[in-house]
């Protein structure tokens, strides 16, 4: 290699320095561009040539312009993004639930329990006071209204979270479609991996889209030799080269709510993290568990109050009663569809005259022993109908209707060891099965004289009121020894604890993600000072190569003049 070879060698160095200057200039130009990943010129020594006993280098050759990115760190960062997005979604859900429940400041349902109990307490001291009877019914109605209202608000929020799944599905489809399109463009411009340079701009956009997609679902990203990426979620791919799979929010009979399914395979998108998983957890877990707790509390309140009230007598007897519960009249009681199953036992019915004196007392058997001869609603109604002075039937709607045969007589109810009266909704204070439909019995709202006070006869005692005192705070066997108020307060206490824990978790993940993001930006971001140093280095290299060419040219001119 002579002087011409030297000039050619330096010419390659000039080209490399010029390309390096262009790369530096592009980095500086995008220093403030969001999501831009800085580039770096990769160079290698040209293949050496042997001349005699010497092996001479042929200078430098640019091998590619690549992005400076730590793929392992990027994957950790988007995993943290997934976890953070899920945590913030749940934090938002718990914040909404906290707004619904005013018990955290002692003005909610727990306070309503106390007001209802206080009203019963006042009536027990003056059972003949009509205004106090009205007040007990009013406080019961207020309690029922607040329970229904609390559940309704939580249910509305739950449905709103269910509706957000549609937006999540649309965002996932938007991103996967764009990533698939970018895959094709990147693979094309990079020559299917044959060119060693990265597709600037296209890869930047794909990194941003992958990071945004990670907000919704937990991703497994695998880059192919062609430069395209495959995106998997729990073993199912959403993107493979230039192909993307759309998802849709579909009603699931199993869940009883919407779920995200892959349209092509009609299989659920099995996610464990991100906004999608957190949205379903907010719907089914956060609000679902709260609603379940409200329903359980309301059911326990209805049953405990009604089992006491249904065995008592007010200030007058009934001329007509229509049960609030509906059931299948011709099957055994466990299959009749009542709110709960009556036990094996009995209940009393009394026929009374206009002054409330007992004309006759009748004990109705309720048989529930798992035998063929067990009672049905129809058989119990038939026994009631057999009482002289009383008629009883099962309506077409499955309700029990009991009528007095004479205007001069009426009927009352007494001791019930079976719980049938409360289960059937006869002579009860509350009606309904849960927080959805809890209400005060319409007959009490129409006439407070039907409010049960006595257990020994009309005007005989205040035993029923005494048993209703502190009923909401009394341990109940069906509630594992907890009280009605205890069930609700346990729900509130658990909620408060979860709100605190979720807030701490979200704060921790925000710090962790910020740390990883800082590390990522330290690698991928443009540092003006560093680029200035590279600029000077390429400039000096260009000047030195130019000087080599100038010197070699002068030497060549000397040779030509000899």
Based on its alpha-carbon atoms, the radius of gyration of the chain, rounded to whole angstroms, reads 40
382 to 44, 224, 431: CA distances (angstroms)? 101, 78, 24
How high is the pLDDT of residue 479? 73
How remote is the C-alpha of 223 from its chain's centroid? 32
Cα dihedral sign for 59, 62, 68, 73?
A: negative
Nearest to 379 by CA among 369, 394, 361: 394
pLDDT of residue 52: 78
CA angle 78, 80, 84 (to 5 degrees): 115
Q: What is the pLDDT of residue 102?
A: 62
pLDDT in tens, 314-325: 988 999 999 999
Q: For residue 513, give Cα distances in angstroms to 94, 486, 498, 517.
A: 22, 40, 22, 6
Residue 110, token pair as written in the block: 């727990």
What does residue 414 show for φ and ψ, rounded to 5 degrees?
A: -130, -155
DSSP designation for 287: I
Residue ranges in the chain modelled with pLDDT below 50: 104
Quick one: pLDDT at residue 221?
92
| Secondary structure E strands in 25-152 | 39-45, 49-51, 54-56, 60-67
With H, G, I as helix, E, B as strand and everything else as coil, classify residue 454.
strand
**Residue 410 · residue 319 · CB < 8 Å:** yes
* CB contact at 8 A, 302 and 295: no
Whether the Cβ atoms of residue 242 and residue 181 lie closer than 8 Å to each other: yes
Q: Taking the domains of the chain in order of start, what are their residue ranges?
A: 3-68+526-561, 71-312+460-475, 319-426
pLDDT value of residue 555: 86
CB count within 10 Å of CB 432 equals 23
For position 144, what pLDDT does the model report? Answer: 94
Q: Which helix (H) or strand (E) holds 537?
A: helix 528-561
Q: Can you read off the two tokens belonging to residue 489?
A: 């307060």
Determine contact, residues 441/324, Cβ cutoff 8 Å.
yes
Query: b/e per residue, 132-163, with b = 16+ CB within 10 A?
Result: bbbbbbbbbbebbebbbebbebbbebbeebbe
- CB distance 495 to 101 below 8 Å: yes
Tell me the pLDDT tens digit for each residue of 453-495: 998 888 788 888 888 988 888 887 777 778 888 888 888 888 8
What pTM did the predictor assign? 0.83
Cα 203 to Cα 73, 175, 198: the distances in Å are: 16, 14, 7
Q: Is 73 exposed, middle or buried (0-12, 13-18, 19+ CB in 10 A)?
A: middle
């Amino acid at each position: 290699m002579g002087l011409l070879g030297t000039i050619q060698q330096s010419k390659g160095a000039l080209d490399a320095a010029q390309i390096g200057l262009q790369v530096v200039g592009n980095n500086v130009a995008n220093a403030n561009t969001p999501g831009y990943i800085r580039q770096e010129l990769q160079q290698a020594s040209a293949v050496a040539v042997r001349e005699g006993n010497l092996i001479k280098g042929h200078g430098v050759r640019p091998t590619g312009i690549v992005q400076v990115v730590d793929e392992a760190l990027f994957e950790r960062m988007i995993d943290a993004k997934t976890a953070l997005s899920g945590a913030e979604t749940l934090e938002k859900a718990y914040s909404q639930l906290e707004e619904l429940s005013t018990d955290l400041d002692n003005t909610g349902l727990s306070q309503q329990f106390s007001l209802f109990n206080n009203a019963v307490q006042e009536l027990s001291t003056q059972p003949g006071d009509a205004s106090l009877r009205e007040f007990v019914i009013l406080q019961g109605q207020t309690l029922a209204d607040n329970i229904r209202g609390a559940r309704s608000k939580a249910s509305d929020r739950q449905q709103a979270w269910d509706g957000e799944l549609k937006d999540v599905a649309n965002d996932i489809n938007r991103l996967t479609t764009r990533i698939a399109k970018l895959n094709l463009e990147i693979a094309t411009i990079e020559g299917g991996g044959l060119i060693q340079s990265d597709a600037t701009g296209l890869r930047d956009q794909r990194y941003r889209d992958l990071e945004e997609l990670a907000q919704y679902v937990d991703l497994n990203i695998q880059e192919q030799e062609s430069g395209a990426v495959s995106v998997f979620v729990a073993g199912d791919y959403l993107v493979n080269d230039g192909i993307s799979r759309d998802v849709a929010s579909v009603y699931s009979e199993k869940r009883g709510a919407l779920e995200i399914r892959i349209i092509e395979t009609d299989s659920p998108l099995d996610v464990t993290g991100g906004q999608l998983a957190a949205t379903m957890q907010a719907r089914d877990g956060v609000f679902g568990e709260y609603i379940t707790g409200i329903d359980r509390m309301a059911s326990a309140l209805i049953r405990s109050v009604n089992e006491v009230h249904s065995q008592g007598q007010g200030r007058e007897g009934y001329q007509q009663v229509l049960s609030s519960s509906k059931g299948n009249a011709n099957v055994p009681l466990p299959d009749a569809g009542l709110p709960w199953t009556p036990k094996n036992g009995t209940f009393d019915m009394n026929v009374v005259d206009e002054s409330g004196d007992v004309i006759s007392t009748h004990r109705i058997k309720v048989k529930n022993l798992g035998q063929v001869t067990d009672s049905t609603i129809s058989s119990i109604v038939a026994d009631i109908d057999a009482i002289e002075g009383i008629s009883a039937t099962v309506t077409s709607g499955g309700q029990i209707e009991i009528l007095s045969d004479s205007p001069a007589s009426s009927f009352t109810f007494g001791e019930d060891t079976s719980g049938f009266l409360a289960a059937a909704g006869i002579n009860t204070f509350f009606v309904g099965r849960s927080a959805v439909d809890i209400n005060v019995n319409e007959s009490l709202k129409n006439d407070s004289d039907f409010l049960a006070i006595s257990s020994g006869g009309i005007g005989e005692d205040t035993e029923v009121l005494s048993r209703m005192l502190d009923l909401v705070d009394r341990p109940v066997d069906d509630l594992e020894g907890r009280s009605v108020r205890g069930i609700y307060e346990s729900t509130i206490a658990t909620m408060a604890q979860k709100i605190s824990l979720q807030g701490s978790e979200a704060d921790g993940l925000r710090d962790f993600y910020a740390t990883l993001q800082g590390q990522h930006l330290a690698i991928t971001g443009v540092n003006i000072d560093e680029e200035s140093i590279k600029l000077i280095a390429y400039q000096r290299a260009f000047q030195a190569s130019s000087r080599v060419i100038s010197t070699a040219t002068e030497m060549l001119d000397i040779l030509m003049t000899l």
